[in-house]
Structure 1
Amino acid sequence: MTIAEWCVFGTLMLYLMTIASVKWISFRQFDNSRPRDPGFYEDPIRARALGAHQNGIEAFPFFAVAVLLAEFRLGPQHLIDELAVLFLIVRIAYVFTYIGNRPTLRSILWSLGFAINIAIFFLPAIKAYLPA
């Protein structure tokens, strides 16, 4: 497996752990028979963790498709790997800024992550113009 493919797995685990950790920390208050109970998410930190989790679900498909398409179309693997690692780092920072209630920085990080995805997606199209 490539580094980028491991980053796809890491991104998946990140969005799962974002909500799982909040549920685990609040295990006495979390009712697993009602996992979507809105009352549990009335706490601001839990609500932001849920938001970060949902955004992770939304961001994951484009990232996974961009990586796999770039690899399938033989984009420069070292650049795919580097951008995928950068995306994962940005997503980790995004989760912390979301939970930490830093909306401006969070939006900047989201935009940066989206730009990284665009770059990965178009790597095969521009590979002829990149230095060897």
Structure 2
Amino acid sequence: MSIPFWCVFIAAILIYVARVPVTKAMKEQGGYNNHQPRAQQGQLTGQGARAVAAHQNSFEAFILFAVGVLMAHTTQTQGWVIDLLAIIFIICRLIYLPLYWYDKPSQRSLVWMIGLVCSLLLMLSPVYRYWVLSTIQ
């Protein structure tokens, strides 16, 4: 499996890692309400509420990232730049989660923006491939 595909796998796992503080916060609220967990999560404050938001953001970020990797793959755009963009995205997400959990909004936004740019560049990677091939011929 290629590096970008491994990164998609890791990004999928990070969606659920983002939830770890949510469960803890729900237990502190009198126990995990398995009948209406989303209603209970809506009442969380502080770190628990930020963890819910980080979890939701992880889904949003995953979609763009996975599409970017698939666009690069289906157009056979490969190489160290694609690998590097995928790795940087994962590093950003690994940094992003604790920044969200521990309420560091400025740093979190910067890291989020870098990850978003990586996803968008992956989506544009077929253009790079076209430019490189057209300049060679």
Give the structure-1-normalised TM-score.
0.87
1:30-41 counterparts in 2 under 5 A? Answer: 30-38=32-40, 41=43
Aligned equivalent of 1:80: 82
Alignment RMSD (CA, Å) = 2.0
Instruction: Report the identity percentage.
Output: 33
- Structure-2 separation of matches of 1:90 and 1:80: 15
**2:4·2:87 contact (CA, 8 Å) conserved in 1?**
yes
Aligned equivalent of 2:11: 11
Aligned equivalent of 2:55: 53
- Structure-2 separation of matches of 1:104 and 1:27: 27
- Structure-2 separation of matches of 1:17 and 1:46: 13
- Structure-1 separation of matches of 2:24 and 2:46: 14
String of CA shifts for 1:7-66, please: whole Å, max 9, x gaps. Answer: 1111111011211x1244357422222211246742311100000001111111111010
- Structure-1 separation of matches of 2:121 and 2:111: 15
Q: Number of matched residues? A: 129
- Structure-2 separation of matches of 1:4 and 1:27: 35
String of CA shifts for 1:68-88, please: whole Å, max 9, x gaps. Answer: 110111112322122111101
Secondary structure at 1:82's aligned position in 2? helix
Residue 98 (structure 1) aligned with residue 97 (structure 2)? no
Tell me how far 1:114 sits from its aligned partner. 0.9
58-67 vs 77-86, which moves further: 77-86
- Structure-2 separation of matches of 1:95 and 1:5: 21
- Structure-2 separation of matches of 1:42 and 1:76: 43
Question: Post-superposition, which runs of at least 4 consecutive aligned residues in structure 1 deviate over 6 A?
Answer: none
Secondary structure at 2:11's aligned position in 1? helix
Structure showing greater Rg:
2
- Structure-2 separation of matches of 1:79 and 1:39: 39
Aligned equivalent of 2:119: 117
String of CA shifts for 1:67-119, please: whole Å, max 9, x gaps. Answer: 01101111123221221111011011111111110111111111111111111
Give the structure-2-normalised TM-score.
0.84
